[in-house]
Amino acid sequence: MRVLVTGGAGFIGSHVVEALRARGHEPVVFDVRADPTADVRSPGAVRDALSGVDAVCHQAAMVGLGTGFADAPEYVSHNDLGTAVLLAAMAEAGVGRLVLAGSMVVYGEGRYACPRHGVVRPGPRAVTDLAAGRFEPACPVCGAGLEPGLVGEDAPADPRTVYATTKLAQEHLAAVWARSTGGSAVSLRYHNVYGPGMPRDTPYAGVASFFRSALARGEAPRVFEDGGQRRDFVHVRDVARANVAALEAERHAGAATAYNTGSGTPHTVGEMARALALAYGGPDPVVTGEYRLGDVRHITADSSRLRAELGWEPEVDFEEGMREFAAAGLRGD
């Protein structure tokens, strides 16, 4: 299969390219890092890139929480306009198979259960609570403490940042494209991806990159809140394999399906920082009590649908992955 990989020179995209080659496919890299003209917002460049292509793995995006609402036009341009241009060109070229890099950020907070009211959806955390060190969301009905659980793909979307909103819009665009063209679209909702080749700490890098960069400078990783935030850290090679599994899966014309893509084993941010610091040889993390507006407290994946329907299983466990990541280099960009 000849597969166009947008963002194929990036962190996740480059691993997808490697995984495709390992399976005997022919990846075609389309990335402004490799070619300044390879912009998904450019209809002509996208049409040319789709020549002879059987499928598209769409990894290109502006990522991260962002630095304020002033970033909104840029996020929408890169993520939503870029996806619309790509899908329009795919429809014109008759390319009917898409795998999209989705994100768990479309959920907002994860799944919570109240002892009295069952499954509930807490709203955004109040600044007054965060400033006072009250980080756990409360039941919106009775104010009781909540038990976090695994979020499934059928949970309602509740994007809480500009980036999250653009990722949800990408899924909606892909679903409309699939229905109108008879194509098939799969969105892999990545959880916290880490591993070799992560970019150095930038406003858009993941927390694992920030911690790893601090250690490389001889500094203690700075853990926000109390370190108890639950996340699902999934290795980039496992994410790349999920992309290949989705591309190779049986095609269902007109279908658009979302799959959580996580390890299935929650860890706290504090646990991750300690494991990484231990593997690197210190210094130990520092819990700061700081917070960022827009961050959610707990979001961890139920990835059983991906396992059951595509036969995918994560292969890199948390401890092994952190040891490798501690020794691996980071991208300078």
Residue 15 CA to residue 242 CA, distance in Å, equals 11
Place of tokens 């880490």: 194
Q: Give 311: exposed, middle or buried? Use CB within 10 Å, 0-12, 13-18, 19+.
A: exposed
31-38 LR contacts (CB < 8 Å, sep 24+): 31/5, 31/6, 31/7, 31/60, 33/9, 33/333, 34/8, 34/9
Q: Evaluate the omega torsion of the peptide bond into residue 196 and state whether it is cis, within 30 degrees of 0.
A: no
Q: How many residues does the chain have?
A: 333
Q: List the catalytic residues.
A: 163
Quick check: 192 and 230 in contact, CB under 8 A? no
For residue 57, which amino acid is it? C
Residue 167 CA to residue 165 CA, distance in Å, equals 5
Closest CA to 163 of 65, 57, 250, 70: 65
Q: How many CB atoms lie within 10 A of CB 132?
A: 9
Quick check: 166 and 79 in contact, CB under 8 A? yes
Q: How many CB atoms lie within 10 A of CB 212?
A: 27
